[in-house]
């Protein structure tokens, strides 16, 4: 008899998975605007909403604070963090710098296995895009970029890049839902794969930087309309 796997549960979730699930749902609720920037994230509310214990909700809030999309004030509580235009520009400045450097470090022409891997990820991305699966779009998109930049050979650089990708998630979210932006994004991914077959590192780096301009300026435009919603 297996002592673990406590007696017949409807949802077969281990604790670790449950924790991950809470973070995932909380993140999703924030990114896709179900909790507006500035709105409070009360632990008890989230506990009932996600059917999780206080412990997991706390951990999730800590994690998301670290990621930068939640603001926690001692003895006050957590809120959805809002970024001003100035902050967004600064964040993107660093992200663009890291992106450019990472792209320049990718040895060209890229290996066949990398090309194949990226093509495969791109297929998944297109599938999710066609299915209008927001969460799936976001996940496959990030997987594509992580796989691409991993080819730079420096895992620490990739990690920093991921930090900034997570930080800019709230700004990119709307873009993931936009049909036009999605089509552009898809074309740029394919162009990246083409450039990986060539030798022009600079062109690749520039394309990667250009790739993030749409969501940045879109977000800046959006918050310019109403700075205090």
Residues 127-146 that bind DNA (CB under 7 A): none
Q: Is 72 in the site for DNA (CB under 7 A)?
A: yes
Q: Residues interacting with a copy of itself, by CB under 8 A?
A: 16, 62, 66, 74, 87, 90-91, 93-94, 97, 101, 154-157, 160, 163
User: Nearest-CA neighbor of 104 among 5, 8, 200?
Assistant: 200
Q: Is 4 in the site for DNA (CB under 7 A)?
A: yes
Quickly count: other Cβ atoms within 10 Å of residue 62's Cβ: 14
Query: Which of DNA, a copy of itself, none binds 129 (CB below 5-8 Å, type-dependent)?
Result: none
Sort strands 70-73 and 40-41 into parallel, antiparallel or unpaired.
unpaired
The position carrying tokens 């470090």 is 105
**Distance of closest approach, residue 19 Cβ to DNA, in angstroms:** 6
Q: Is 11 in the site for DNA (CB under 7 A)?
A: no
**Distance of closest approach, residue 82 Cβ to a copy of itself, in angstroms:** 16
> What's the half-sphere exposure (Cβ side, CA atoms, 13 Å) at 81?
21
Compute the Cα dihedral for 174, 104, 158, 85 and give only its sign: negative
Residues 34-63 that bind DNA (CB under 7 A): 40-44, 53-56, 58
């Amino acid at each position: 008899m297996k002592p673990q796997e406590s007696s017949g549960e409807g949802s077969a979730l281990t604790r670790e998975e449950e924790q991950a699930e809470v973070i995932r749902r909380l993140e999703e609720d924030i990114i896709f605007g179900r909790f507006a920037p500035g709105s409070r994230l009360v632990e008890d509310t989230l506990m009932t909403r996600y059917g999780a214990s206080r412990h997991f909700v706390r951990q999730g809030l800590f994690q998301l604070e670290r990621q930068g999309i939640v603001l926690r004030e001692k003895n006050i509580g957590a809120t959805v963090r809002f970024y001003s235009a100035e902050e967004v520009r600064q964040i993107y400045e660093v992200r663009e710098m890291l992106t450019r450097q990472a792209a320049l470090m990718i040895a060209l022409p890229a290996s066949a296995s990398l090309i194949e891997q990226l093509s495969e990820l791109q297929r998944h991305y297109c599938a999710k895009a066609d299915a209008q699966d927001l969460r799936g779009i976001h996940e496959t998109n990030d997987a594509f970029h992580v796989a691409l930049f991993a080819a730079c050979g420096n895992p620490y650089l990739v990690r920093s890049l991921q930090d900034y990708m997570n930080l800019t998630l709230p700004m990119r979210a709307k873009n993931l839902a936009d049909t036009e932006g999605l089509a552009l994004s898809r074309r740029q991914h394919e162009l990246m794969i083409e450039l990986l077959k060539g030798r022009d590192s600079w062109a690749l780096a520039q394309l990667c930087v250009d790739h993030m301009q749409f969501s940045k300026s879109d977000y800046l435009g959006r918050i310019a309309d109403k700075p205090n919603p």
